[in-house]
Amino acid sequence: MSALYGVDETHDPALRSWVESANDPACEFPIQNLPFGRFREAADLDWRIGVAIGDQVLELRRIGLINHAEMNRLMRLKPETRLELRRALSAGLRAGSGQQARWRDALLPMARVQLGLPCQIGDYTDFYVGIHHATTVGKLFRPDQPLLPNYKWVPIGYHGRASTIGVSGQDFVRPMGQVMAAGAEAPQLMPSQRLDFELELGIFIGRPNAQGQAIPIEQAEEHVFGLALFNDWSARDLQAWEYQPLGPFLSKNFASTVSPWMVTMEALAPFRRAFERPAGDPPPLPYLDSAAQRAQGAIDVDLEVRLQTAAMRAAGQPAVCISRSNYADAAYWTVAQLVSHHSVNGCSLSNGDLLGTGTLSGPRPDQAGSLLELSAGGRTPITLPNGEQRRFLEDGDSVELHGRCERAGYRAIGFGACRATVLPAASTVANETD
């Protein structure tokens, strides 16, 4: 782990901003956070780089801290330069700053702008770091051997599809695919009836590595720009039919949703904690191990899933929490371990690549990060406060993910919402080609 990502004056809980909304204790984007994202106004075609502060967006190019509007270019900055940028932003946004008069003109209300994908996403890899999720799901299909022999030795992952990753607020249609019903002699093409969410975090790669050059674990976090909330929607009935022998395909690539703000590794420094494996588990192989990772490789992020049905929306009822968990408690592998393992075979990670953590379920049943777990494979529906029940998602259901970092002696920071609504499946399969 890089020593660059330590606690410094930018994390001082006493800091206040001249952007008054950032000083509200409930605010997710205080001056101690400063996450990066892309935005545009209604008449714009091009995206601009912004930093969230309170309920406002600060345009970086307009205040002169950068001379371009390319987020991926900014993400390639060396960690030392990124730290200088963070410190400059912190100083300029503090109460009493001499920059207040000039920078105020570069602020826009977040409610008035369109937020886009945080960056141009290149490749997308989804991992399977949630050991409680892996164990619970494994028990549904392999009661005698929930975890396969390789799980505690190698970070499991598969390559997904970046073209269908949408930003929070971008809805998606229920996927079609082949489903093999119990007792049937042949599958049929139909809309998924077992549509699910997956509570994840997304890891954004900032600095690439050359092909053939593995990233050492000690340097892995220097290649990571930040984290965001991530929902890897899943069609469980399609998945059950297609996943052997090569794994997920149409059951996963129809839609994923990411929150619009990247919370930087610098901002997360106060919320690190020791990364410890359960007693008796095998130690990681040397390329996945370091003293720094053992000391503070885990990141404390409280996570929450909220669900709002179409009936609730029509009645003016807000989304309700159906699950809570914590990233550090759920993950069997750290951010650095995922990066190092991904590159150990010579794979080149590119600027803007996205790594999903996999479903982050806690050890208790009410901490499950998917409906597959919450409903015990669909056998036991969950009951919502209005009396509705859910085994899997229905048309019109909206799922929101939320994340928050809290620790005594520091200012709490958040990730913003990651939200999307399930739309009805297309009535026909298009056959047109370009």
In the annotated binding site for substrate, the residues are: 128, 142, 239, 243, 359
Tell the burial category of 320 from Cβ atoms under 10 Å away from its Cβ (0-12, 13-18, 19+). middle
The pLDDT value given to residue 118 = 98
Q: 133 catalytic, yes or no?
A: yes
What's the predicted TM-score (pTM) here? 0.96
Give the whole-angstrom CA distance, residue 6 versus residue 362.
Answer: 27
pLDDT band of residue 144 (cuts 50, 70, 90) is: confident
Give the whole-angstrom CA distance, residue 113 versus residue 135.
Answer: 42
Give the whole-angstrom CA distance, residue 34 versus residue 54.
Answer: 9
In the annotated binding site for Mg(2+), the residues are: 232, 252, 256
User: pLDDT tens, 184-203?
Assistant: 999 999 999 999 999 999 99
Among residues 133, 223, 341, 342, the one annotated as catalytic is 133
Cross-strand bridge partners of residue 307: 320, 399
The pLDDT value given to residue 432 = 47
In the annotated binding site, the residues are: 126, 128, 142, 198, 200, 232, 239, 243, 252, 256, 359
Q: Which residues contact 253 (CB under 8 A, 6 or more apart)?
A: 160, 161, 164
The pLDDT value given to residue 415 = 98
State mean pLDDT over 129-153.
Answer: 93
Give the whole-angstrom CA distance, residue 142 versus residue 148.
Answer: 9
pLDDT band of residue 4 (cuts 50, 70, 90) is: low
User: pLDDT tens, 233-252?
Assistant: 999 999 999 998 988 999 99
Give the whole-angstrom CA distance, residue 339 versus residue 180.
Answer: 36
Show the domains of the chain with their CATH numbers: 9-115 (2.30.30.230), 124-423 (3.90.850.10)
User: pLDDT tens, 17-58?
Assistant: 999 999 999 999 999 999 999 999 988 899 999 999 999 999
